[in-house]
Amino acid sequence: MNDQPIAISLKRFLLLEDCPAGWRGLDLYLFRHDALAFYVGQSHFAFGRVWEHLLGGFHGHSVVGRFVWCNWPVSMSFTIDLLSSWSAQFESLGHDLNAAERELIRRWSPCFNLSLNPQPSAVPGSYVPYNGRMRCSRSLARLAHQARRAVQAEDRARWIRELE
């Protein structure tokens, strides 16, 4: 089982059509932008649950998913972290999934986790609130196309920097 954490930008996550085999056992996830966490969750298939949030955001079924789309294209730079409750960092918790989620909520104080979070971080005013106007197409294909172009530009810029 892979217990190494994965950190991937939302723009790169959107380009994944299938879950990489090594990610299938990851059962915790985190939406964040740099050091500001928006949401921590658990699922026996975290990759799939992240997709449920994103797709549910179009219909208002997921606060964090809606927040992502309301903050497009800035949200392309958000990070999705996928972790395992079986990793060494949760050994002291007996690798208990619920305890690992609580620990991540305690550590990060995410904005949209209200349960188990005595002091959720405030959403900075620089972000559009989740109940604001969506700033993106409702076409996942169009969003993936925009994400692909952003990834290509990022990779090209990195390649140029390496040549210098």
Q: Where are the domains of the chain?
A: 6-163
Pinpoint the alpha helices (H) of 25-109: 46-57, 63-70, 97-108
CB within 8 Å of 25: residues ≥ 6 apart? 1, 2, 3, 84, 86
Higher pLDDT, 4 or 74: 74
Tens-place pLDDT, residues 13-46: 999 989 999 999 999 999 999 999 999 999 999 9
What is the Cα–Cα distance from 150 to 24, expressed in whole angstroms?
26
Residue in this structure with the two tokens 């209200």, named with its chain if needed: 114
Q: Is the dihedral of CA 129, 131, 132, 134 positive or negative?
A: positive
Of the candidates 94, 118, 93, 89, the one whose C-alpha atom is nearest the C-alpha of residue 105 is 118
Return the pLDDT at 1: 56
pTM of the model: 0.93
Q: What percent of the chain has pLDDT over 90?
A: 87
